[in-house]
Amino acid sequence: MKRTEEAGFSNLKDVIAHSARRYTYYYGSGKISNIKAGDFPEFLRTTAGMSSTATEIANWVIALQSGELLKKPSSIETLWKPAVLSNGNTKAFNNLLNGYALGWPVVGRSEHPAAVAAGGDRAALFVYPKDDLSIVVITNLMGAIPSLFIDEIAGFYIPQMKAANGFGLPPTIKTLWKALESKGYKKAIEVADELQKASQLKFAEDELNTWGYKLINQNKKQQALEIFTLNTYLFPLSSNTHDSLAETYWLLGNINKAVDHYKKVLELKPNNKHAKEQLFKLNKSNLREVIAPTTK
């Protein structure tokens, strides 16, 4: 790993040949700019500040899994075994990286689990031990968050792992996904009612909402609309379900419906700042005359 060795761990302030300067993405303004030069103290340099290439990281992973670095296979199992808390669960950074092993976050799931190295919201390595597959993504953009799309890259090698094929969905949502793929998303409410009665499934508001946004990211806005509509049907007193439905109507160009559901948000949660701002934007854009309801 000569390139990694040359760059070292103080590369945030040094000039490194053939190395791209780091950038950061500001979500509020949508602007991209250079990150302020900085450095990591020595005690953090085992976990932060290393500069490398995808090729050298890939070679390191191959050496690790082939037994060049750790001779005993059980050593790797120990390395990637997540710690279990006193309540019997694992815990890490988010719903995806849901466990923490010996310095490695892990993705604990029944299908295609992974051991992960991710840093600075700009780089990630996913090792899929059961699939003899590893994916390395290194960027110079803080905010790229490759950990969120590496599974989709893996899907080019293992089609089952593509989000469009239902990968990554919670068990109850995947059951609903299979049914709607067969019967059509316009029957979402009818199918969900049938599954709840026949299979005693219980759908969670946040899981349905997350799935809806995944569909939007797959450019399946009409299907997302049906899922968000289902969510308002199942959880009519949740302001968040109406907010998501309003946003989707807006994306589809149905301004009247978007306004109606943002108003519903304010009925349920009168001090909801986001809904007020969205209604103001709709009014300012002259898309439709919007009068926000009076709030107490």
Q: Enumerate domains of the chain plus CATH numbers.
A: 2-164 (3.40.710.10), 171-284 (1.25.40.10)
Per-residue exposure over 174-188, b if at least 16 CB sit within 10 Å of its own CB, e if not = ebbbebbeeeebebb
Block residue for tokens 């007193």: 237
What is the four-CA torsion angle of 205, 208, 213, 214, rounded to 10 degrees?
Answer: 140
Instruction: Report which of 222, 170, 174 is spatially closest to residue 195, judged by C-alpha positions.
Output: 174
DSSP letter at 172 equals H
Instruction: Report which of 275, 272, 249 is spatially closest to residue 262, judged by C-alpha positions.
Output: 275
Strand partners, 136: 125
| pLDDT score of 35 | 57
| pLDDT score of 293 | 41
| pLDDT score of 240 | 96
Q: What is the pLDDT along the chain (296 residues), one digit of tens a residue?
A: 988 887 777 656 666 677 777 777 676 666 777 655 556 677 777 677 777 889 999 999 999 999 999 988 899 999 999 999 999 999 988 888 999 999 899 999 889 999 999 877 789 999 999 999 999 999 888 778 899 899 999 999 999 999 889 998 999 999 999 999 999 999 999 999 999 998 888 999 999 999 999 999 899 999 999 999 999 999 999 999 999 999 999 999 999 999 999 999 999 999 999 999 999 888 776 554 444 444 33
| pLDDT score of 18 | 72
Cβ–Cβ under 8 Å, residues 147 and 96: yes
Strand partners, 125: 117, 136
Cβ–Cβ under 8 Å, residues 217 and 255: no
Instruction: Report which of 113, 109, 118, 46 is spatially closest to residue 77, judged by C-alpha positions.
Output: 113
Rounded Cα distance between 159 and 266, Å, is 43
Per-residue exposure over 94-123, b if at least 16 CB sit within 10 Å of its own CB, e if not = eebbbbbbeebbbbbeeebbbbbbbebbbb
| pLDDT score of 181 | 96
Cβ–Cβ under 8 Å, residues 4 and 51: yes
Helix (H, G, I), strand (E, B) or coil at 251: helix
Block residue for tokens 């219980």: 202
What interhelical angle do 221-234 and 205-217 show, nearest 10?
Answer: 170
